[in-house]
Every structure is written in structure tokens, then in C-alpha cells.
Chain A
């Protein structure tokens, strides 16, 4: 539509001006931390938990829970944006940068895409460059506490520059691929990449 359709009588609740430029189009701020998942929350015991890098790598690598905790970690304060319209500013996480994880493997030349896979069977796909250069990490603490199961604990992927469904909860590994393969929501009508600043919510956006 060329002319925007104006909703008669709508003025809207205005956001704080200093926050406005941090909120992508169509999003609103929430003080809470909503939970969205397609099924029950998995509860894998930590002694059976592991995190794996596999696929197009010279040698797959696997960390136990204790080994993951020993990797160099960082604190991240980031804004997050859910496709269901809420945004939350200045969320505080602690975890391991994907760059750090990748130091443990040699990627094949043709590794260009990644599938993050999770307990419960959830998957999401990302182009490899979206995970590099400090843009993505696997997080195990949120707001100073161990990450709660309903928010994806023990470990979730966090890729804050994309809609939050890309930040897969209960993540168990990254599989490097030579071709893109739509994940769970990406197969169900959601956008393949999900850039909130371009409002890439659904296929065709």
C-alpha cells in the first residue's frame, strides 16, 4: 500500500524518546520476559548434557557441561526482539561467544550455513556470518542467575540482532552445512533470516 492506512482515533502509547531508536518497527517494550515455545520444556540432566559442533568440520567437537563452563566466558548486555512484537532492552547474559567455540574446530571451506539443534527437536537455521564476530553466543546465565529452563536453560543460543526465535532455547549443538536448510519456524511460514530492523517476520517480508 502506498499511503499508510491511518487508524481513526489511534494515537498510541508513546515510548520514551531515548529508547525509540532502539525499538525496531512494529515492536513494543515489555518489562517482563515472555516465554514462547512450541511444546513442553525439556529437562535434560546436566550430567547427560553436552554441546557439539559437527557437520562440515574437520573433526567434530563435544563439550560436557563442566567443560563448557571452563571455556572463556563473557558478559553481554543486549536488546532482544521477538517476532510476537515484544522487545526488551539491556538484557544481561553470560556465556561463550560462538567465535570462541569455533577456535576448537576447523571449518570446511564450504561451511556456509548453520543449523542450531536443541532438546525437544527444535531447530533454527542461520547463515554462518550471522554467528561470527561477536554477534552470537551460547548463554548459560541470565541477569546474574543460571538460565531458567523455561527461558532455554541450561544453555540457549543468543543472536540478538535477529528475531529471538533464532536464539534457540535448550541448544545442544551447531551443525555446519554447505546448504541452507529451513528450521522449525522457518518451515512454517516464518522468515528465513528474521532481521527485526527490516521487519522480516514472515516469508515474503
Chain B
């Protein structure tokens, strides 16, 4: 029985300490998604794909914690972007969306996670598959790729419900227009604007086969989104002949959804 290889460079880590970040900027990405830019007093470079934990404490000591993927590239020092979807009944996301104001402070610690990461020196080609806010850690990879002026052939297959729910739509368009090897393929599953020429259905085997074909035999593949999407995409990619050890997955809630 072989053991899954871990990245050769195992970094020596300091214990992860909580620090008090300041909300520097808020950007509304879509009706239910905001990006919070946090200034960190003890910023350290992250690996694209990693996350931070956020901890909220009530006056009586009650605490709630959640993990949020970092959207920004590590080349931007001193601060991080967390892109956060407002969940129905979300204890922490509703606070971050509706209560936290510019200049407010919030406790965080990170960066965390060492497998669902991509750095330019890992090469490619790179196949990224996102469902909804699953695009966030992939965006950190895409921004890092751009910051490092990497030319690794990269395709993002991105499933959103409707055109106004496409997170980072404008920035993705711009990055693609720079013609440096990034292609973005959208599918809109619920409604499409007039004249829509992209895909208009859930990601399926046919779509994956078409999206991955230009990348050759075994692109390094990252899949992030709701559990059902990730499970189905990963299974179909294996069915298409992609080696399982080339596929890295990250699944997220809303954790109340049966899975």
C-alpha cells in the first residue's frame, strides 16, 4: 500500500496564533457575496488555496468559528481578501456581511491547509473547476499565476446560477483578455441573459471532456464547490481517465445540505 505523497517541502510552522485584523475595505461581488479586505498585523505569505479561520466572540464568551478561503494572491503583502457568501441562517457569514463595518476588528488565524494549494513552480497545465463561491481559492491561484507572470496553460470551468451571480466576472474577463494562457469557460445553470452563448446546464461529463481536452493528458486539477458538484465532477474526471492523484478537491457547505 503506497502512501499519498505529501509536498516534498514540509515547512516548519510556528503555532498558528490568533491575531486581530482590521476590515480595510468591503466590496460587493454579487448580491450575496462580499469580499472583505483584512489588514493583518502579523501577515505571512500564504500558499494560494489556503484558508483562514475567523473567530467571533460574544460578550458572554460564546464563540463561533468558520474557515474562509483566501481570495488574494500572496504577492499582496500585509492584507488578505476573504470572499464570503451570505448563507441562509449563517451565524458567522451574516455577521460578516451585515454587522462588520470598515475599520472594525475581527479575530483571525492562518494560513491553514497544505494540499489544496497551487504555486507557480508546481507547473501545469492547470484545470480549475468551480461551483459558485468555490471559485474563491481558485481565484487566489489565478491571481498568483498572473502576479508571477506564469504562462502555465490554465482553464477555469466555472458554474454559476445566473449572470449576476458570477463572482469576479469583470476581473476574470480582463485576465482572459490578456491572452497569457488563461481561459474561462462559464456555465449558467438557472437563467441565462439574452444572447448567452456559453453552457447553460450543470457541469456534466460532456462539458468536462470539452473543457479539459485542450490541456492534454493529465492536467493538475483542482475542484471546489458544493459537495454534490465536487463529488460528481471528481468521479466524472476519473471516468474520463484523469489519474486520481492529479485531482485535488475541496468541498464546502452550506453544511446543512444533505450530502
Interface residues of A (CB under 8 A from B): 1, 4-14, 25-26, 28, 30-42, 84-86, 117, 120-123, 150, 172-173, 184-185, 187-189, 202-205
Q: A8-B99, A26-B55, A205-B15 are in contact. List 14 more A-B contacts (CB 8 A).
A: A10-B95, A12-B58, A35-B230, A39-B244, A39-B245, A40-B238, A41-B231, A184-B115, A185-B115, A187-B114, A188-B114, A189-B13, A203-B16, A204-B16
- A184-B16 contact, Cβ under 8 Å, with A37-B249, A39-B249: no
- Whether B3 pairs with A117 at a CB distance below 8 angstroms is yes
B105 at the interface (CB under 8 A from A): yes
B residues less than 8 Å from A202 (CB atoms): 15-16, 112
Measured in the bound complex, the distance between the Cα atoms of B50 and A202 in whole Å is 14
- Whether B95 pairs with A32 at a CB distance below 8 angstroms is no
- Whole-angstrom distance from the CB of A86 to the nearest CB of chain B? 5
- Whole-angstrom distance from the CB of B42 to the nearest CB of chain A? 12
Q: Binary interface profile of B, 220-259, with partner A (CB < 8 Å = 1, else 0)?
A: 0000000100110011011000001101110101011111
B104 at the interface (CB under 8 A from A): yes
CB-CB nearest 7 A-B residue pairs: A204-B15, A121-B4, A188-B114, A40-B234, A26-B65, A7-B56, A34-B255
- Whether B15 pairs with A203 at a CB distance below 8 angstroms is yes
Which B residues from 28 to 64 make CB contacts under 8 A with A?
55-59, 61-64
B residues less than 8 Å from A40 (CB atoms): 234-235, 237-238, 244, 247, 249
B173 at the interface (CB under 8 A from A): no
Measured in the bound complex, the distance between the Cα atoms of B1 and A173 in whole Å is 10
B residues less than 8 Å from A32 (CB atoms): 253, 255-259
Of the candidates B15, B64, B247, which one forms a contact with A28 in the assembled complex, judged by CB atoms under 8 Å apart? B64
- Whether A84 pairs with B57 at a CB distance below 8 angstroms is no
- Whether A6 pairs with B58 at a CB distance below 8 angstroms is yes
Measured in the bound complex, the distance between the Cα atoms of B115 and A188 in whole Å is 7
Of the candidates A34, A39, A204, which one forms a contact with B248 in the assembled complex, judged by CB atoms under 8 Å apart? A39
- Whole-angstrom distance from the CB of B112 to the nearest CB of chain A? 6
- Whether A34 pairs with B251 at a CB distance below 8 angstroms is yes
Interface residues of B (CB under 8 A from A): 1-7, 10, 13-16, 18, 20, 55-59, 61-67, 89, 91, 95, 99, 104-107, 112-116, 227, 230-231, 234-235, 237-238, 244-245, 247-249, 251, 253, 255-259
- Whether A150 pairs with B259 at a CB distance below 8 angstroms is yes
- Whether B56 pairs with A10 at a CB distance below 8 angstroms is yes
B residues less than 8 Å from A34 (CB atoms): 227, 251, 253, 255, 259
Of the candidates A1, A42, A123, which one forms a contact with B244 in the assembled complex, judged by CB atoms under 8 Å apart? A42
B residues less than 8 Å from A7 (CB atoms): 56-58, 95, 106-107
Measured in the bound complex, the distance between the Cα atoms of B114 and A25 in whole Å is 24
Give the one of A40, A84, A121 with max B CB within 10 A. A40
- Whether A9 pairs with B244 at a CB distance below 8 angstroms is no
Measured in the bound complex, the distance between the Cα atoms of B91 and A117 in whole Å is 36
- Whether A41 pairs with B235 at a CB distance below 8 angstroms is yes
Of the candidates B65, B89, B231, B256, which one forms a contact with A85 in the assembled complex, judged by CB atoms under 8 Å apart? B65
- Whole-angstrom distance from the CB of B145 to the nearest CB of chain A? 22
- Whether A5 pairs with B20 at a CB distance below 8 angstroms is yes
Give the one of A8, A35, A38, A86 with max B CB within 10 A. A35
Of the candidates B4, B7, B112, which one forms a contact with A123 in the assembled complex, judged by CB atoms under 8 Å apart? B4
- Whole-angstrom distance from the CB of B12 to the nearest CB of chain A? 10
- A8-B104 contact, Cβ under 8 Å, with A30-B255, A31-B256: yes
B residues less than 8 Å from A1 (CB atoms): 18
- Whole-angstrom distance from the CB of A170 to the nearest CB of chain B? 12
- Whether B249 pairs with A38 at a CB distance below 8 angstroms is yes
Give the one of B4, B5, B66 with max A CB within 10 A. B4
- Whether B227 pairs with A184 at a CB distance below 8 angstroms is no
Measured in the bound complex, the distance between the Cα atoms of B63 and A11 in whole Å is 9
Q: In the complex, what residue of chain B is closest to A202 when comparing beta carbons? A: B16
Q: In the complex, what residue of chain B is closest to A40 when comparing beta carbons? A: B234
B residues less than 8 Å from A35 (CB atoms): 227, 230-231, 251, 259
A residues less than 8 Å from B106 (CB atoms): 7
A residues less than 8 Å from B20 (CB atoms): 5
Can you list 9 A-B pairs with a CB-CB distance of less than 8 A? A28-B64, A31-B256, A32-B255, A38-B116, A40-B235, A85-B66, A121-B5, A189-B13, A202-B112
